[in-house]
């Protein structure tokens, strides 16, 4: 009996260091694996930050993580929430016949305002890029911008301008080189005016407003006057007026 105990103790003495070494090596492998996964995740997040041109990573990291989580359950999200933005009929409406077009979205709460924009045009200060977001078919970019903008209102206006029209007046503006002048200031059929804060208000022609949709109900309202290729003498007069005003300032 004593011999058996001695042999057992001897085996335990011999084998135990190898077991401890094995467990130690296994722990190193697990730690290494977790480190690689974390680094891979951080690299992926950084890639998304670069793609979306996010400058303040500390501020936006939590928000982006939430968006990436939503990406994994986007189909479930469409079922259990009121947000119908990514329904096929909405996306098809936004991107139908958009070749060589510049697309922007603007969010507003009131339906009456959206209907007024369809009839009278889209009002803005200096540049509509301050309140309207340029979009492409990049789904991640679209989800990111929608998640940031949806709280401004459930009605989403779609602005669409032919790249041919936009590029033509952009090149004409370069010849004048006026400060704080944007192409959209030319594409208006009414004269600019000053609001109560004495800011100059421009009105993009309603011909460049495709329509709007309600991302909660999914209802789409189209603009019968929509024409992204619209051009007229008034635009050229706007350009002439801008050229003459800038010449006087010199």
In sequence order, the β-bridge partners of residue 212 are: 157, 221
Task: Give pTM, 2 decimals.
Answer: 0.69
Contact indicator for 48, 140 with CB cutoff of 8 Å: yes
Contacts of 193 (CB under 8 A, 6+ apart): 200, 201
Q: Which of 133, 173, 107, 165 is nearest to 52 (CA)?
A: 133
Query: With 0-12 CB in 10 A as exposed, 13-18 as middle and 19+ as buried, what is 78?
Result: middle
Q: How far apart are the first and last CA of the chain?
A: 111
Residue 113's pLDDT is: 95
Contacts 24+ apart (CB under 8 A), 74-82: 74/143, 82/216
Residue 243's pLDDT is: 80
Q: Where are the domains of the chain?
A: 2-53, 83-249
What does the pLDDT look like over 126-150, one tens digit per residue? Answer: 888 778 999 998 888 888 888 888 8
Residue by residue, pLDDT tens for the chain (250 residues) are 444 445 555 545 566 666 666 776 777 777 777 777 666 656 655 555 555 455 555 545 555 555 555 555 454 444 445 688 989 999 999 999 888 999 999 999 999 999 999 999 999 988 887 789 999 988 888 888 888 888 899 999 999 999 999 999 999 888 886 667 889 999 999 988 888 888 889 999 999 999 999 999 999 999 999 999 999 999 999 988 888 776 665 5
Q: Which of 186, 199, 196 is nearest to 230 (CA)?
A: 186
């Amino acid at each position: 009996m004593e011999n058996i105990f001695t042999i057992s103790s001897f085996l335990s003495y011999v084998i135990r260091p190898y077991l401890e070494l094995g467990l130690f090596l296994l722990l190193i492998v697990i730690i290494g694996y977790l480190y690689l996964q974390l680094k891979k995740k951080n690299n992926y997040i950084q890639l998304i930050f670069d793609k979306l041109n996010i400058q303040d990573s500390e501020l936006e990291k939590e928000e982006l993580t939430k968006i990436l989580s939503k990406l994994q359950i986007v189909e479930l999200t469409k079922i259990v929430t009121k947000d119908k933005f990514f329904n096929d009929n909405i996306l098809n409406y936004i991107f139908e016949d958009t070749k060589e077009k510049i697309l922007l979205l603007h969010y507003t709460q009131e339906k009456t305002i959206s209907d007024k924009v369809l009839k009278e045009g889209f009002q803005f200060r200096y540049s509509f890029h301050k309140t309207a977001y340029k979009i492409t078919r990049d789904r991640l970019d679209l989800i990111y911008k929608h998640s940031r903008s949806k709280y401004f209102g459930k009605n989403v206006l779609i602005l669409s301008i032919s790249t041919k029209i936009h590029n033509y007046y952009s090149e004409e503006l370069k010849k004048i080189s006026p400060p704080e002048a944007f192409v959209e200031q030319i594409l208006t059929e009414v004269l600019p005016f000053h609001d109560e804060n004495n800011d100059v208000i421009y009105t993009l022609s309603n011909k460049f407003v495709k329509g709007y949709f309600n991302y909660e109900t999914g209802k789409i309202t189209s603009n019968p006057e929509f024409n992204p290729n619209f051009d007229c003498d008034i635009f050229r007069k706007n350009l002439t007026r801008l050229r003459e005003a800038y010449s006087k300032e010199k």
